[in-house]
Amino acid sequence: MSDGDLQKLLTWLSPAFPVGAFAWSAGLETAIQTRVVHDRSTTQDWIEGTLHHGGLRTDAILLAAAHRAAVDAAAVAELADLCLALTPARERHAETLTTGTAFVAAAAAWSNTGMPALSEQCPYPIAIGAIAGRHGIALITTLLAFITAAVHGQVSVAVRLVPIGQTDGLRIMAAMESAVAEAAAACGTAGLEDIGGIAYAADIAQMAHEALHTRIFRS
């Protein structure tokens, strides 16, 4: 990977990139309020569950498919529809569309002449996969960056809400490095037929979030 590719990924997946990902918890806020997640161990279990069996794994497989289909606008549009169809909760649906649309707009600063336009309704993993693919950034590196950023985002939610504290948050990040690398490798070679999840607690938490009496996050 070139230095330029690394710079792009570090920028695009940075918390400072203007997609507003910090405002969403993907249901983790619900799990914290109901005390399903209440310390370092349960936080790590929750995140690992979504990585291996839930929405994060699905998103990574869809990102890989969008990366491979990057120059085919029709194929990318079909993947966007599939991604939305696989999003079970209303707030999660809003999350992936809001962040994806913002990502497409912000990444336009890195022009790629001659490429077909992405849909205005582009889910976040599809946007990242297609744009990274169009820029020739390696799939495995893109997946590593995407999954790492997603894990760090969930840890950040737990640091603030459980709260588990910065030290325990960093321990989770360190402990999950190999799991993230293995997931990136597996999702990079997976096909759409490999999509499937059993992280029902996360799906239910996402659905229940809108009914919480007090909410800090949008999902």
pLDDT of residue 114: 60
Mean pLDDT, 10 residues at a time, the chain of 219 residues: 91 96 96 98 98 98 97 95 95 97 93 72 95 96 98 97 97 98 98 95 96 94
Q: Which fold has domain 3-15+26-211?
A: Urease accessory protein UreF (1.10.4190)
pLDDT of residue 111: 78
Whole-number Å distance between alpha carbons of 47 and 176: 9
Q: Is the dihedral of CA 11, 13, 16, 19 positive or negative?
A: positive
Whole-number Å distance between alpha carbons of 73 and 3: 28
Q: Where are the domains of the chain?
A: 3-15+26-211
pLDDT of residue 21: 95
117 Cβ neighbours under 8 A, 6+ residues apart: 73
pLDDT of residue 32: 98
CB of 118 closer than 8 Å to CB of 75: no
Query: Of 58, 28, 38, which Cα lies nearest the Cα of 196?
Result: 58
pLDDT of residue 166: 96
